[in-house]
Copies of this chain bind each other. A is one copy, B any other.
């Protein structure tokens, strides 16, 4: 069986990764959505085990030390990370999985899974990004400034990604991501792998 695709959706903080991902859940129910672990506090409406696995710093560090995190990064004084087992099990079962993670974490995943599909969600402009970060209204000015400076650095990392999807309009951004997943399934390398597999199955049957 062909392995599933590992799709990594990343981009600067405040670009709208979470919103895009929640719309994608409705449009692409066939995708498995990886749940990240984090040490940051739950925001209003977030549920443990659905939006994130919320952990204490001690719990998180214990997971790191026994190699149970595919990637992790510290970002604005909080850990974010991806439990490894779930990702590997999903791909090996032939299903596609999507990871919505921070930029630094995505580059760590790339070290382990260079064959992954790396999508960078872009704001229409830096000005729009600032409005989005400010508009959330739940953070101090210091945190906003720090996030803007980190965001500018993160955009520089787009060169390590495969695709840039501009989040000008959520429906349009989701349509682009759906198209990327469909196109990646059509890559000739995947086709040749499945052809070789079906020929082997036929010869074993004969």
Contact check: which of B120, B175, B184, B190 meets A182 at CB < 8 Å? B175
Q: B178 and A191: CB pair below 8 A? A: no
Question: Among A69-77, A107-115, A157-165, which stretch is in contact with chain B?
Answer: A157-165
Tell me the complex Cα distance, A120–B166, Å: 29
In the bound complex, how far is the Cα of B191 from the Cα of A180, in angstroms? 15
Asked if A176 is an interface residue, CB under 8 A from chain B, the answer is yes
Q: For the complex, is A188 an interface residue (Cβ under 8 Å from B)?
A: yes
Chain B's closest residue to A173 (CB) is B186
Q: Which residue of B lies closest to A117 (CB)?
A: B183
Q: Which residues of B contact A1 (CB under 8 A)?
A: none
Interchain CB contact under 8 A, B176 and A161: no
Q: Which residues of A contact B (CB under 8 A)?
A: 119-120, 122, 158-159, 161-166, 175-176, 178-180, 182-184, 186-188, 190-192
Q: How far is the CA of A184 from the CA of B179 in the complex (A)?
A: 9
| A161 to B187 CA separation, bound complex (whole angstroms) | 9
Is there an interface contact between A164 and B191, defined as CB atoms closer than 8 Å?
yes
DSSP class of A's interface residues: helix, strand, loop or mixed?
helix
For residue A189, give the distance in angstroms from its CB to the closest CB of chain B.
Answer: 9
Check A162 against B188 for contact (C-beta < 8 Å).
yes
> Which residues of chain B are within 8 angstroms of A184 by Cβ–Cβ distance?
183
26 chain-A/chain-B pairs, Cβ below 8 angstroms: A119-B186, A122-B191, A158-B188, A158-B191, A159-B188, A159-B192, A161-B188, A162-B187, A162-B188, A163-B187, A164-B186, A164-B187, A164-B190, A164-B191, A164-B192, A165-B186, A176-B182, A176-B183, A179-B179, A179-B180, A179-B182, A179-B183, A179-B186, A180-B182, A180-B183, A180-B186
A74 to B191, CA, bound (A): 28
Query: Complex: how many Å from CA A182 to CA B163?
Result: 11
Task: State how many angstroms separate the Cβ of A159 from the closest Cβ of chain B.
Answer: 7
